[in-house]
Amino acid sequence: MYGSYTGRSRTRKRVAGLRTTGTAAAVGAALLLAGCSGDGDGGDKDAAPTVSQQPKAKDPYWVNPEGNAARQVAAYEKDGDGEKAALIRKIAEQPVGEWISPDNAENQVKGVTEAAAAADRDALLVLYNIPHRDCGQFSKGGAADGHAYRSWLDSVAKGIGDRSATVILEPDALLHLVDGCTPQEFHEERYDLLKGAIQRLKQQPATKVYLDAGNAGWQSPDALYQPLQRAGIAEADGFSLNVSNFQTTAVSTEFGKKLSEKIGNKPFVIDTSRNGNGPYTGGDPAESWCNPPGRALGEAPTTQTGDDLVDAYLWIKRPGESDGDCKGGPKAGDWWPEYALGLVRATK
């Protein structure tokens, strides 16, 4: 998602496949038939996943037992590689965001939220389908137009129903308006789409919505608060920071509090999936965001942050999935076990 723009980092993802029991089983099967069975090569697809949920009091979000990391654990165990399996398990046992693809959105979301509900957990969803997405960079695409986006968003909301879900709304979309990456002719429509998305999602009784606000290395609170207001932040539950980026939790928290002061003390969530060693400062600064070496996992996902303004530390970016075809990586969103192992080994 950021191409050559300094200080940015995202990747496109598709929802991982589900193998569930009870009510969610039929929907999970429908997801598999629809072709939404995960990104890239997540190890042996026939190997049985071997992960469980985190304690609900610490982290209420659902761990997908068929995510790429879980499948990689099973594949390494099948091959007798206990050392690598134990390392990847540190990723597989944490809840990560489920990025909803454009096709069959209602079935995808219903499958995820039903599986989460069956496990007595909340779903963590990431919506990334805004028209003119990513300014033509690694994760270009999105809905064909505003009408298509509203239709897709309505399908997502129907898929959530009355089940508990937290939605991270459109990483990059607001920031690309602020930094001029998105052409001026699309600005008015995008503001309208973001505000409408918040309003539609908040019609679901158990849904929280966090509008993405970039990261501490990209723009300033002074540049962001009015665009956030225009995009409907007043009706959202808060905003998200550091999605797919590497700014430290301390820096992100300080940034978030300064921004929160300007928008009615709204709370926020921080993506800590890969920020354990902070941003990468070597190599070409224009590509510091893309599969940087030596990065590490950050704080484990939790709602117990010890700060009233920080609602949660989340793994919104799925650790081990590529940022794009740079530094030897596969295309954006594909599972890359070597990078996943590097993240874990570098974690203190």
**336 DSSP 8-state letter:** -
| Contact (CB, 8 A) for 243 and 13 | no
Amino acid at 323: D
329-347 in b/e burial notation, b at 16+ Cβ within 10 A?
Answer: bbebbbbbbebbbbbbeeb
39 belongs to the catalytic site: no
- Residue 81's CB: how many other CB atoms inside 10 A? 13
- Which one of the listed residues 134, 271, 311, 334 is annotated catalytic? 134
Backbone angles phi, psi at 25, to 5 degrees: -60, -45
Token duo for residue 151? 């239709």
Q: What amino acid occupies position 146?
A: G
Quick check: is 323 catalytic? yes
The span from the first CA to the last CA of the chain, in angstroms, equals: 28
Find the catalytic residue in 39, 237, 323, 334. 323
Residue 212 catalytic?
Answer: no
Give the active site residue among 59, 122, 172, 311: 172
The encoded tokens of residue 310 equal 């920080």
Give the residue numbers annotated as catalytic, written as ranges.
134, 172, 323
